[in-house]
Chains A and B, each alone.
Chain A
């Protein structure tokens, strides 16, 4: 059976200077099935963020290919990649990255509105997600009126509101205290189970890593472990 997400021979290097090149990823191969809850771990600089960015079509690999649900992402135009991200992928960033001029509700509804979903349906869906994540009282607030943990919960709500098939979360708990971090991962796991969305997140926090059902370990840009937990 074909995997939901296939990563084949991905390599990526960055040119820091004229003569200095750093290999961020080296020949990464990975298959992830639909509905999995996967953590990518490894020390800083191991290539976790780069791999997530390439899987999400935010960055382009030097070689190799990424196939998401039968669609080859590598080689797509910026416009097509934007549409793939809009329709199929949700993102949670380490620094929350909510749009500062929009309220929490508008941030959650943003992708749905891009998809052309009508206002009333957006309202119902954002209310449903907010209920699940316990952020109903925050909906009319601007991001700068929210704590880090609250912002990250809104970011998680935004990532799943448009019912993507895949959620990519780059160190979503890095800026949170341990209690909030665990709560957030629990929430993401709940969404993974209830919404059926595949979740891949990166972390180097053992407590958070332990929540995943499968662990992919990177070291110096190489995949060194890929195990069920």
Chain B
């Protein structure tokens, strides 16, 4: 009976119901979009940070990550690579060898990192290729051709085709030095990285560093990057204790911490939005309920108990909240879905984005149906909760007070 009456009241007060639904729907859509935006920007930050260079999964010799040295390299990475490839979910496996060297050009000398890479595989596991600023990317047959960070090139006053020399140490601790030519200049947006890194094709790099079939790390690209942690765990079991397998969550724990902090601030902002929504809905409901306080008084006078009035008003509130949440949920989900496919583009702000480690000035939203359902549930609960105070307040009036309430 009360369910039927609740529907009747909702339909009878069309304007009031429409405003309540609109208010709830806009709030729900806003919450879903904000949530999707926050998750999306974090996702993009992770994607950028991980994909620029460090990779989703790093396999190193045991102890290398804590105390790197030539005695803790991956020797015979070929067989390690073969082992890793047997793990389902692995897409690409690529070796790298990082060494610290002294670069010099003209009168300038700068310490930096010389890295030997497989140019073709590196294209897939990092953004080195897409970060090309000038010149050309490496190919596997390159020899003295160097792919250098823009800031390092600036410090050494180098341009495309210029020569530079390096001195360093081979993996057998022998003296290593050579004269190189700048083939390409890259800019990832990660300042420290751009100021210290330079790359050679690994075959030639191995010949001067005595590092054939040796790598400081092997990078693994999962078929599903979101499952990197699980895949790392499987690889760990496969390769055994001689190696350390770290997912990006372990190699970039500082980034994770900063994102968690950012999430805290994000949730505080959302909390403030919730509080505003809560009070707006509550005040509106208070006005709406008190505009029909006489009717409620009549109901009470002719025998409706306070509990039944509470039930009736809660049913109305729940129905309107449900409708709000469904409409807002659809709108929010559609917008989250749209912007997950067509990310919001901040044209002209690429430089500012690079300062925050974002190599591209677009932010896609995250479209996760379960998160959307969670937000809808939160919003439904919040909307119903916001109507409780007005309902209880009007229910506290005596019937005669309610009938004569002005």
Contacts and interface: CB of A to CB of B under 8 A. Distances in A.
Interface of A: 53, 56, 58-60, 78-79, 82-83, 85-87, 90-91, 93, 97-102, 110-111, 113-115, 158, 162
Contacts, number: 63
B8 interface: yes
B299 to A, nearest CB: 7
Q: Is the interface of B mostly helix, strand, loop or mixed?
A: helix
Interface stretch (B65-73, B138-146, B244-252, B398-406): B398-406
B302 A86 contact: yes
Interface of B: 1, 5, 8-9, 12, 294-295, 298-308, 398-400, 403
B400 A53 contact: yes
Given A99-B298, A101-B9, A101-B12, A86 B303 contact: yes
Given A53-B400, A58-B399, A59-B400, A114 B8 contact: no
Nearest to B297: A97
Contacts of A86: 302-305
Nearest to A88: B303
Nearest to B396: A78
A82 B398 contact: no
A162 B9 CA distance: 23
A53 B399 CA distance: 10
Given A78-B398, A99-B295, A101-B12, A111 B302 contact: yes
Contacts of B304: 82, 86, 114
A143 B304 CA distance: 20
A110 B307 contact: no
Contacts of B303: 82-83, 85-87, 111, 114-115, 162
A58 B299 contact: no
Contacts of A98: 298
Contact of B298 (A60, A83, A97, A115): A97
Contacts of A162: 303
Contacts of A102: 5, 8
A59 B398 contact: yes
Contacts of B302: 85-86, 90-91, 110-111, 158
A16 to B, nearest CB: 14
A99 B56 CA distance: 66
A101 B306 contact: no
Nearest to A142: B12
A82 B403 contact: no
